[in-house]
Chains A and B, each alone.
Chain A
Amino acid sequence: MQPTDDTTYDLAELADLADVSPRTVRYYIQQGLLPSPGARGPGARYDRAHLDRLRLIRRLQREHLPLAEIRRRLEELDAESVRALAEAPASYRPGSSALEYVQRLLAGEARPSGVAPARSLRATLQAQQDATRVAPPAPPQAVPDRSQWERITLAPDVELHVRRPLSRGENKLVERLIEAARTIFRQEGP
């Protein structure tokens, strides 16, 4: 049954549709990731927005984002964007980016058949680059028309603005930047 916009569900139905346990749903509500339903107890009804949100949370968890990060992202999104992201085709396929990574390395290592000469400087530099380089650009994915900016506090009067969603690699760079910035402010701060 395709959910329409005014369909409502009870906890068991919601959990079933999102492929999580009812306990998980309650946990997310407790953690502020899902709004609580209108009523409480057995009469509580959840709507399409709850379902979309739940599906998106699950998806983001699969990509190893911690709950705090998921909460932050959800805060910036409206219901439409949540739905779009929850339904976007999966862009994370572990095999393809592992394959790209390895094949790039091996190409840098390519040598003629027979006894291998010592690695060329060029191959060494290529391999170095590949080792320090972050994830290859993510394959094109469905991005909502509206991008969302996230504000991250670095110090009481200093913020970093980041446009979401970012690729995995960019996320890692941002994390490092935040760590470094916060260290600086902690060390030099009042």
Chain B
Amino acid sequence: MIPLNVRTDRSLIRAAARSRRYVTVRFVAPEAPPRAGRAPVNVAIVLDRSGSMGGEKFVLARQAAERALAMLRPEDRFALVVYDTEIDVLAPSTPAVPEAKRHALSALASIGPRGGTDLGGGWLRGCEQVALHASGELVNRCLLLTDGQANHGITDPGELARHAAALRERGVRTSTFGVGSDFDERLLGGMSDAGGGNSYFLDHPARIPEMITSELGEALEVVMRDAALEVTLPAGARAEPLQRFRWRHIEGDNELRVELGDLVSAQEMAVTIAIELPRGEAGETAAAGFALSDRDHATAGGPVELRWTWAGHPQNDRQPRDRTVDREVATLYAARARAEATERNRHGDYEGARRVLRRTADRILSYAGNDPELHRIASELLAETETFAAPMPAMAMKAAYYSADAVMRERAPSGRAKRGDGSPPSRT
């Protein structure tokens, strides 16, 4: 059973008004079982071979594929797809035995960059290869690498995201890798967001092999598939996560389910929930329950109960705050503000970008008291105001997009999972 560290920012709530509180649930996924015990992976690697991938990019993509295949064992499956305006399934899904790997890599060696980009078609062929052999026992994933836009076939980012979501629901997740400055981060980010996978920004082609093998390495170390946090709320309460996780709220029975995706060995995870609590009788309490589940375990952690006590306004105003929760909340709102400011900047709304950053910094300062960390979070936002309030070059915009996205998904800045070192899941 995984210990859950559950904290709320303030434990008194208002008897005479609705209260907004925050809860952070922290835990660390277990260490991986010995390699022999891990779930086999079923992956497709989809590579853009359009003209723009010329030069070192495609060489590095080939290298990435080579290293990726080296990580796999015969009980794993892989498929290799390349696309420009044509889609070529170089290696249909096959068990990762040495001969199959050699064959695939030699086919890849004869490929060079060519035409335009049917990103949707290439990706769907990759998903098809995964789907041909997908099962509940495997980690089923499609990895898509591109440096450009989708300019053939399905080009609408919304449509691609919808298909990614549909495939996620059917057990096939999508992770995306964007290289350089010309790709559309919202298109790729949208696909991996909806697709339940991970998003990577490779600012330099040299990072291609490293990040593809990192993602595959994580797929090989999944210890909790389809992890979810289940929250039982008190009557009359509403809640939602602050991070970018898929979630469902069953109103009538007051249950919130937050989908955390596949978690890897020793992954550190924190879910912060904003909860609105109803009025009540002073002295009485309202309780919420928190439990962790995954595909194989109905209860993988918890349930842990958290209680708030109704009290008058003066006691509420005077009560102590749990700063660890405040800092989590501030960090997340700051990331949201940066993400919004990036979009406004993209549309030339510099005044709007400035406003959203300032407003968020002010909000944080309103509860910062004399906590140095909270002050730091606010001042960093303010320091970046002028950067967001002037035209941003493409690379800077991508860096801002992916950085905010990583925070909002509880991932490390590189896009990798956050890993614990075995110490208790508490920041202080």
Instruction: Name A residues whose Cβ lies closer than 8 Å to a Cβ of B.
Output: 20-21, 23-24, 27-28, 31, 57-58, 61-62, 64, 66-69, 71-72, 92-95, 97-99, 101-103, 105-106, 109, 115-116, 119, 127-128, 130-132, 135, 152-153, 168, 175, 178-179, 182
20 A-B pairs whose Cβ atoms sit less than 8 Å apart in the complex: A20-B299, A21-B1, A23-B1, A23-B299, A27-B291, A61-B298, A62-B136, A66-B250, A69-B250, A95-B135, A98-B131, A98-B167, A98-B172, A99-B128, A99-B132, A99-B134, A101-B167, A105-B124, A105-B163, A175-B248
Contacting residue for B299 out of A27, A68, A152, CB 8 A: A27
What is the minimal beta-carbon distance from B229 to any residue of chain A, in angstroms?
11
What is the minimal beta-carbon distance from A60 to any residue of chain B, in angstroms?
10
Contacting residue for B134 out of A20, A94, A105, CB 8 A: A94
Instruction: Name B residues whose Cβ lies closer than 8 Å to a Cβ of A.
Output: 1, 85-86, 115, 118, 121, 124-125, 127-128, 130-136, 140, 152-154, 159, 162-163, 166-167, 169-172, 226, 228, 230, 232, 248, 250-255, 257, 291, 293, 295, 297-299, 303
By beta carbon, the residue of chain B nearest A21 is B299
Contacting residue for B153 out of A64, A93, A116, A175, CB 8 A: A116
Report B-chain residues with C-beta under 8 Å of the C-beta of A31: 232
Contacting residue for A72 out of B127, B170, B253, B293, CB 8 A: B253
Total A-B Cβ pairs within 8 A: 119
Contact B226 A64 (CB under 8 A): yes
Contacting residue for A67 out of B133, B162, B170, B255, CB 8 A: B255
Known: A66-B230, A99-B128, A116-B85. A94 touches B135 (CB 8 A): yes
What is the minimal beta-carbon distance from A144 to any residue of chain B, in angstroms?
23
What is the minimal beta-carbon distance from A109 to any residue of chain B, in angstroms?
6
Contact A131 B162 (CB under 8 A): yes
Contact B153 A94 (CB under 8 A): no
Report B-chain residues with C-beta under 8 Å of the C-beta of A62: 136, 295
By beta carbon, the residue of chain A nearest B153 is A109
